[in-house]
Amino acid sequence: MTAPLAGYTILDLTHVLAGPFCTMTLADMGATVVKVENPVGGDDTRAFPPFKDGKSAYFAAINHGKKSIALNLKSEADRITFEKLLKRADVLVENYRPGVMERLGYGWDVLHQDFPHLIYGAVSGFGHTGPDSKRPAYDMVVQARGGVMSITGEKGREPVRVGASIGDIVAGMFLCQGILAALVDRAKTGKGRKIDVSMLDSQLAILEHAVALTTVTGKAPGPSGARHPSITPFENFHASDGLFVIAAGNDKLFEKLCIALNLPLSDDPRFATNPARCDNARLLKRLIEAVTLGDTRAHWIAKLTAAGIPTGPIQSVDQVLKDPQILARNMVVDVLDRNGRQAYKAAGNPIKMTDAPDPTTRKPAPDLDGNRGEILRWLDEA
């Protein structure tokens, strides 16, 4: 089996999350990722808890399998090494604020002239154009400004950020998509392209129902808790021992749900269509819960699953890590230490591909500058 990106080299100048998440995905698909770090401290996440044996599990989860070399791009000697790396690399990825690479002498125009094959991937808070392009940003800033926080949480309560860092992660995913498209294009043209991904843009791009509702109705949606604002029933429901979810996304599924719950509602004009159900969502929830409160979550999940209705438990992360379906898909992997011992757990690669390896372990996260000798020897072979 051959990893689809085997043979490609990614020069990774990124730090924290958006950029490293992108390059982690490329590494999981077989690319060689050379992480260029600041000699003083390296990637910020090396100092992020939790720690095990003095090393960050957060850093290891996002940077496993990469190689590290510490370079000061203001040092003439290190710039010579960096430019050797540029000659060998297929892709450069950076997440500095716009203008930083230009001040270092490595902006897109210069790199494209000197290394026309090189693909340049950039991810930043607000992108490389626009009036706010040079402003700093973190995940929470773009979740707030991008509208995601305005629809997250319970009605009448303060907005909350999504628990996962989707401001960073979604941008990293879009950057990865752009890089893969540029690699396909380069195979045809021989020339690299620049990919400019904004974290703020990426938040707007995932507001599928909110944009549609706002532009059609003229009114911006607010938070709706766990309920989908355009599909009903599609939310949390109480059983006798707690909450579980039901997602009956069309009329046929709603009819099956009514049969399973022995609720004669599918022909009721208040509930016969999805728009009608949305208009009467609170009443419908009360009618459903009048039934589901009579038994346990496990009972209803088993019964509804047997009837073909999408349902499931609300699991904590420790429960997810033991979920048989998750484990069957190799979605919990071991990150090894330099001695080949299991050191950390991390999420596996969700991209499953025929004839591509999907190992149960990942190579270690690199020590700062830990691969200098190996990288310099590789450069001398060119």
Structure tokens at 109: 């125009």
Identity of the amino acid at 68? S
Provide the 8-state DSSP code for 319. H
Query: Does position 382 have pLDDT exceeding 80, yes or no?
Result: no
Structure tokens at 145: 């400004």
CA distance 337 to 281: 52
Predicted pLDDT at 284: 97
Query: Does position 6 have pLDDT exceeding 80, yes or no?
Result: yes
CA distance 375 to 9: 12
Q: All domains of the chain, ordered by start, with CATH?
A: 9-206+327-380 (3.40.50.10540), 234-314 (3.30.1540.10)
Residue 343: name the closest of 110, 99, 65 by CA. Answer: 65
Contact 276, 270 (CB under 8 A): yes
Predicted pLDDT at 381: 86
Classified as helix, coil or strand, 345 is strand
Predicted pLDDT at 290: 97
In this prediction, residue 223 has a pLDDT band, given cuts at 50, 70 and 90, of: very high
Classified as helix, coil or strand, 238 is strand
In this prediction, residue 354 has a pLDDT band, given cuts at 50, 70 and 90, of: very high
Classified as helix, coil or strand, 86 is helix
Contact 246, 304 (CB under 8 A): yes
Structure tokens at 202: 């990426």
Predicted pLDDT at 153: 94
Residue 232: name the closest of 267, 283, 304 by CA. Answer: 283
Provide the 8-state DSSP code for 94. E
Length of the chain: 382
E strand or H helix that includes residue 185: helix 166-189
Contact 344, 362 (CB under 8 A): no
Q: Of these residues, 112, 117, 228, 299, which one is catalytic? A: 228
| Averaged pLDDT, 299-327 | 97
The whole-angstrom distance between residue 278's C-alpha and the CA centroid of its chain comes to 30
C-beta atoms surrounding 245 within 10 Å: 17
pTM of the complete model beyond 0.75: yes
Backbone dihedral angles phi then psi of residue 135, each to the nearest 5 degrees: -75, 145
CA distance 213 to 218: 8
pLDDT in tens, 132-149: 999 999 999 999 999 999
Give 11's strand partners: 34, 92
Helices (H) then strands (E): counts for the chain: 16, 14
Contact 90, 190 (CB under 8 A): no
Backbone dihedral angles phi then psi of residue 195, each to the nearest 5 degrees: -115, 125
Residue 109: name the closest of 183, 192, 188 by CA. Answer: 192
pLDDT in tens, 166-179: 999 999 999 999 99
Predicted pLDDT at 68: 98
C-beta atoms surrounding 267 within 10 Å: 9
Asked about 117 being catalytic, the answer comes back as no
C-beta atoms surrounding 266 within 10 Å: 15
pLDDT in tens, 74-92: 999 999 999 999 999 999 9
| Averaged pLDDT, 320-334 | 97
CA distance 167 to 337: 30
Predicted pLDDT at 1: 82
Predicted pLDDT at 136: 92
Classified as helix, coil or strand, 286 is helix
Query: Does position 66 have pLDDT exceeding 80, yes or no?
Result: yes
